[in-house]
Chain A
Amino acid sequence: MRRGQTFERLMQTVFFLCACVAVASVILICIFLFSGGAPALKEIGVLRFLTGRRWEPGRETFGVLTMIAGSFAVTLGAVLLGVPVGILTAVYLSFFCPPKLRRVLRPAVDLLAGIPSVVYGFFGLTVLVPAVRRLFGGSGYSVLAVSAVLAIMILPTVVSVSESSLSAVGDGYYEGARALGAGHERSVFRVMLPAARSGISAAVTLGLGRAIGESMAVVMVAGNQAIFPKSLLVGTRTLTSNIVLEMGYAADLHADALIATGVVLFVIVMLNNLIFALLRRRRMKK
């Protein structure tokens, strides 16, 4: 009895310490990031840093607007391509797939999520970039190629989370719709899918976060010119790839400016999560 209690107390402490380590790492990362980025932001000026279109380390000119635009463009592209496909795949798995096939496909999707991003990048480099070149001309290193690679990368997340939330919707809704004389498709798309929308919007948030934060696969297919993404076929540079490409040799203000780029990325991701959390809260209230 007493020994059991002591053991429980001990385990409680262990768990508490684990939680502390997790929280402390997050706090430390924040402190490191913001204190590292602050000097550059102060020297360059927050507004000039955010709205400057030129990134020329040689002339000590640092503006990340084109990279912000690049990140937004490829993320939007990835979401537009990946989310509809992902949701429809989840619907197929939950409501149309024969159970035997489902038992194979479902783990396969989860497996896809574990593939390292450099492999996706390699696939993009050897398959998608040449395809874009052949179909649309140009070098092939383009916003389109990046969007396509990212779309494929976020697919497992979107499918997996959407599928779980569709499966969690009670059978009662489906039966209710069928009992009113609605067919299978109508019941699925007009009742079950809307009923799962909060889980599906979580899937989109996660996918978006993954797309905006990806660097390796992006660097491999983006062409990486720091220019404004005026069309789908021009090359682009994102916030993440900017850091990866230059951190190896940067020094002084240049290095600080790269950390500041990280701060911008961090804030954007936070805003993304915040917006979705708020949207969700509002819908819950309704």
Chain B
Amino acid sequence: MSQFRIQNLNLYYGSFQALKGVNLDIPERRATAFIGPSGCGKSTLLKTLNRMTDLVEDCRVEGKVLFDGKNILSRLTDVNTLRRRVGMVFQKPNPFPMSIYENIAFGPRTHGVRKKEELDELVERSLTEAALWGEVKDRLRKSALGLSGGQQQRLCIARALAVQPEVLLMDEPTSALDPISTARIEELVLGLKREYTVVMVTHHMQQAKRVSDRTVFFLLGEVVEAGDTERLFSSPQDARTGDYINGRFG
């Protein structure tokens, strides 16, 4: 089953076209990796999937992105509901400057959860899912900014999971982290993709190989090739894909 079907998607920042005729299916409960040289539109496509592109002034989109059969680019889409269902983790860990507990509870509260027991349970469950509970359970009321970079990023993952999304979008979630924290996040993603659809932008080809089931290769705003990760890396069908994964450019 496809979680997203992207059809003839064009995206413009002012007069600059950042995505050109993208057609792509993203499967449910799999990890899909977006790879490609920087500036080729990976983040842009990722942000289209939860309409974070709306925040960019004079950004214009054409085409369709079907999520659950409905075109989320439609004007009728309730973006806040969409973003509850399609969570996002950013390149730079961005926990709010409040306590760990408040960070996690913010999302559920936004969507109407008020009862303390329910919030407590969501906090524990999402921190456990993000493999952080053991490290922070005794300091839930302490500021989230006191955590290490890797812990902050796992907190951001927990924060996204707390609103019980179906999809998790991750934009180079480990690029600001050390190798050990990176390994922990990769391990986490391997578990999460059983429950959630994961779409991850990565700069790192090894990372795409390790965690993803499908890989999409971008170049200059176009999807050059998409396919099963193993197949794409072992026998790329487009010469440009081969050049990129063998490190001949980018």
Contact = CB atoms under 8 A, between A and B. Distances in A.
Contacts of B159: 176, 180
B84 interface: yes
Interface residues of B, number: 28
Given A180-B110, A194-B97, A175 B83 contact: no
Contact of A180 (B55, B142, B143, B160): B160
A180 B163 contact: yes
Contacts of B111: 181
B80 interface: yes
Contact of B83 (A170, A179, A186, A194): A179
Interface in B62-113: 79-84, 87-88, 90, 92, 94-98, 106-107, 110-111
Interface residues of A, number: 18
Interface in A170-201: 170, 172-173, 175-183, 186, 190-191, 194-195
Contact of B97 (A180, A186, A195): A195
A59 interface: no
A181 B81 contact: yes
Given A175-B55, A177-B106, A286-B143, A183 B80 contact: yes
Task: Describe A's contact surface by its main secondary structure.
Answer: helix
A195 B111 CA distance: 21
B107 A181 contact: yes
A2 B106 CA distance: 61
Contacts of B90: 172, 175-176, 179
Given A176-B90, A180-B106, A190-B106, A195 B52 contact: no
Interface in B45-60: 50, 52, 55
B31 interface: no
Q: Which of A176, A194, A286 has the most CB of B within 10 A?
A: A176
Nearest to B141: A286
Nearest to B89: A179
Contact of A181 (B92, B94, B96, B163): B163
Given A176-B156, A179-B88, 6 more contacts: A173-B94, A179-B52, A181-B82, A186-B110, A190-B106, A195-B96
